[in-house]
Amino acid sequence: MARRVKSLLRRWSSRVFSVELDEAPLSFGIQAAQRGGRPPGFFAELGEQDRCYSLLVSGRDAARRAQFSAQLREQLLRELPPGCDLAAMSSHLPDAEDSLIKGYFIKGNTENSSRIEGLLKDIEQQESVLVCSYTGEDGQQWTQHLWSREQSKKMEMMVKFYVVPSESSICHPSSLNTANYDVFHSFEEAYDVLKKNVDVSPEARSVLEMFPSTVKAGRKPDFPVIAIEGLDATGKTTLTESLRDTLGATLLRSPPQCLSRWRAHFDQQPALIRRAFYALGNYVTEEQIGQEGMKTPVIVDRFWHSTAAYAIATAVSGPACNLPQEGSEVYRWPGDLLQPSLVVLLTLNPQERERRLRNRGQKITDEEQELDHNQFFRLRVEEAYRRISGPPCVVVDASPSADLVLQQVLLLIRAKCHL
C-alpha cells in the first residue's frame, strides 16, 4: 500500500465517518469490540437485506485527488446497478488537522451486492482508494469490513470493526483544515493546481499560457477601486453600469472577458480546479485595475469575495452555523492581491430574487440554480460574504428602486472614498 494509506490505517478505529444526507452529515464511529444498543443514525433504519459500501480517496496531491474523485463519481453513477443510492461522505480524526479524506457511500441490497462488489474491486486497483463494506448482524449490530489488497492483488477482508454511535465534532469536518475549502490565498497556489492538470486538460494549458509563473505586486492605483458583490439578480449589472456613468469610472468584471471562452469548461470541473480558474481570473482583473486605476475610478463587478464565498459555502453542508468561525484564516484576503477601497454586498430577499431571475430568462450556472433550490446553500454563501475580511463587505439592501440603490451606494463611495 502507498505510504499515505498506511498512515491512515494506523488510527483507523479512531476515525469518525460522516455521510452527507439531506444537507446534514450523519456521523458514526467504529470499534474493535462488540457492544449492544441501537445502531447509530441511518443504520437503525436499514434492513437485513440492505448492503452498504464506502470509498474514501487518499493521496497527497489535492489536484489529482479532486480530478480522480470527480471521475470516480461519474463512474459510480454510470455503472452502479439500479436500486443503489449514492451519497458523499468523509472521514476524519476528531479535531485533528489535515486528517480529512472524502469519498462516497453506497446503499444497495443483497440482490445487487455481487455487481457492486465486482465494480468496487476494479476501482480499488486504480488509485489510493480505501473500500469498506457494511453488513448487519442479528438485525441490530452493523459491522464495517475494510478491504485489503495484497501483493497477489487478491481482495481479502481485514479484521472487522463494529459500527457505533459517534459524538458530534466541535466543528464541521471540513473545518479541520482551511485547504478543504478550495480557497486560494496566493497566485502560486491557484497556478500550481492548474499546472498539475495540464496533462489531461488542454484548457488548463491555454489558461496558464496567459500568465507568468509568478506575479509581482503592482503599484497601487491613484483612483479608488469599488467592488460590487452579490448573488445573481440582485442588481449588480444595473448598479455597476450606473456607477460607471455617474462617476466617469472604468467598469471591469471578474472573471474577465479574456477568460470567458474557457468558463463553461471549468464550470464542469471538480470544485478545486474550478476555484483555481476563478482565482486566477482575479489576478487578470487586478492587472486591468492597475492600468485603468491610474486614469479613472474603477468599478469591479465581483472580485475575490465571490470566489471565496462560493468555495467556502460549497465545502460545508447544513446551516450557516457550520461555516468556519469568524476570524478563521479561510476568510483572509490574499496577501498578493490588490484590496478594493470599498466592497458593497447587494442583498435581496429570496422571493424577489427568484422573481427577477424568472423575468430575465437567461441561462444561469449550476451554482445559481442550487441557490434557488437549496436554502441552506444560499444562506451559507451570504454569510461567507459577510465574514470575509480585508476589506469587509458593506451590506446594501437592493430591494428599493435602482435609483435609490444607486444614491445609497454613491453616499457610501463619497464617504469612504472621497469621490
* 188 or 41, which is more confident: 188
Edge to edge, the sheet with strand 250-253 lists: 250-253, 298-301, 225-230, 342-347, 394-397
* pLDDT per residue as tens digits for the range 197-231: 888 889 999 999 988 877 776 678 999 999 999 98
Q: Is the pLDDT of residue 77 over 70?
A: yes
Residue with cell 456521523: 27
Q: Is the dihedral of CA 378, 274, 316, 369 positive or negative?
A: positive
Query: Which amino acid, residue 112?
Result: N
Q: What is the pLDDT of residue 116?
A: 95
Q: How far is residue 146's CA from residue 135's CA, in Å, rounded to a whole number?
A: 12
Pick the CATH number of 178-417 from 3.40.190.10, 3.20.20.150, 3.40.1710.10, 3.40.50.300: 3.40.50.300
Q: Are strands 394-397 and 342-347 parallel, antiparallel or unpaired?
A: parallel
- Prediction pTM value: 0.84
Band of pLDDT at residue 99, cut at 50, 70 and 90 = confident
Average pLDDT, the chain: 86
pLDDT in tens, 286-333: 999 999 999 999 999 999 999 999 999 988 888 888 898 888 889 999
Pairing type for strands 298-301 and 250-253 reads parallel
Q: What is the model's pLDDT at position 192?
A: 93
Instruction: Give whichever of 130-139, 151-160, 170-179 has the largest mean pLDDT.
Output: 130-139
**Is 253 within 8 Å of 326 (Cβ atoms)?**
no
User: In the structure grid, which three cell numbers stand for residue 373, read together?
Assistant: 433550490
Give 340's pLDDT tier (boundaries 50, 70, 90).
Answer: very high
Relative to beta strand 50-57, strand 129-137 is antiparallel
Please report the pLDDT score of residue 76 as a whole number.
96
Phi, psi (rounded to 5 degrees) for 150: -90, 175
pLDDT of 27:
86
Nearest alpha carbon to residue 394 among 378, 411, 381: 411
Helices marked H in 293-401: 304-315, 350-360, 366-373, 375-387
Rounded CA separation 274/278 (Å): 7
Q: What is the pLDDT of residue 153?
A: 47
User: What are 318's three cell numbers?
Assistant: 447544513
- The pLDDT of residue 155 is 44
Say what the pLDDT of residue 276 is: 94
Domain boundaries along the sequence of the chain: 3-176, 178-417
By the 8 A CB rule, do 319 and 379 touch? Answer: yes
The pLDDT tens digits of the residues spanning 165-176 come to: 886 555 667 766
Contact 141, 107 (CB under 8 A): no
pLDDT tops 80 at residue 8:
no
The reported pLDDT for the residue numbered 152 is 37
